[in-house]
Structure 1
């Protein structure tokens, strides 16, 4: 069976709090950066399945293909994106310089997939990763002789 299970810091927190919307817990979680609901800086994905494959679609608007990496290490698929942007603007009486850095990472536990046939494409801000299922091994019956 295929276990497509996301894991990470923010996902581990869901269900951690008795009542995350109680006022005391809510503010404590905000100041500890542990919100129990979806954070805006988390990589958002859609996961679907058909008879032959699993498909992960990750939203990565504004990233270039070169800024995205996909690693498959044993049963762990990791999608990561990193952006480092610097802007400098000069005028007669001013200088403006801004720097932005951001990264997104999401990992999934993947089992029973054909690792050699995994494919990915990036188009219009959406990364699509296709994970073909392993062909089930034909079970050979054992003939039992009757004495």
Structure 2
């Protein structure tokens, strides 16, 4: 197998390895769709049993662990696939239905559905006419 030379690859690898032993990057997309928020987190190669989603008050925490491949007798030529702990925390506002939060993991993507509470949903405010206003103030 032939590998090309990149003068910056060693620096990139060293920089990423300095922080790689603790917490890894977990890229997410977050969007609102109707009366719910959807958070999609990329967790490729993660064992679904290691994924943990917790809610403590208004803080949603996602944790996952990717273990390194163990090939004890191997001489590594390249080892670029990240492993270690993944952690992200999100602060949820008051307008969230915390009892309705759900999550599923499929094809390396964790999807967390966060419904908006009934009281935080947009609603139409009726405008009272002059005759209706006088009966309210009386």
Number of the residue aligned with 1:87: 70
List runs of 5+ in structure 2 lacking aligned partners.
1-14, 77-81, 126-134
Distance in 1 separating the partners of 2:36 and 2:68: 36
Number of the residue aligned with 2:59: 76
Which of the pair is proportionally richer in strand? 1
Q: Is the 8 A contact 1:76 1:107 kept in 2?
A: yes
Question: Quick check: 1:103 aligned with 2:85?
Answer: yes
Number of the residue aligned with 1:127: 110
Higher Cα Rg: structure 1 or 2? 2
List runs of 5+ in structure 1 lacking aligned partners.
1-29, 35-40, 90-94
Provide runs of 4+ in structure 1 moved above 3 Å: 95-98
Deviation by residue 1:6-26 (Cα, 9 ceiling, x = unmatched): xxxxxxxxxxxxxxxxxxxxx
Aligned positions, number: 101
Q: How does 1:29-68 map to 2 (within 5 A)?
A: 41-68=24-51
TM-score (structure 1 length as normaliser): 0.58
1:114 to 68, 91, 97: 97
Q: Is the 8 A contact 2:47 2:65 kept in 1?
A: no
Distance in 1 separating the partners of 2:35 and 2:102: 13
Q: Is the 8 A contact 1:87 1:97 kept in 2?
A: no
CA change 1:67–1:97 in 2 (3 A) is: farther
Number of the residue aligned with 1:14: none
CA RMSD between the two structures: 3.2
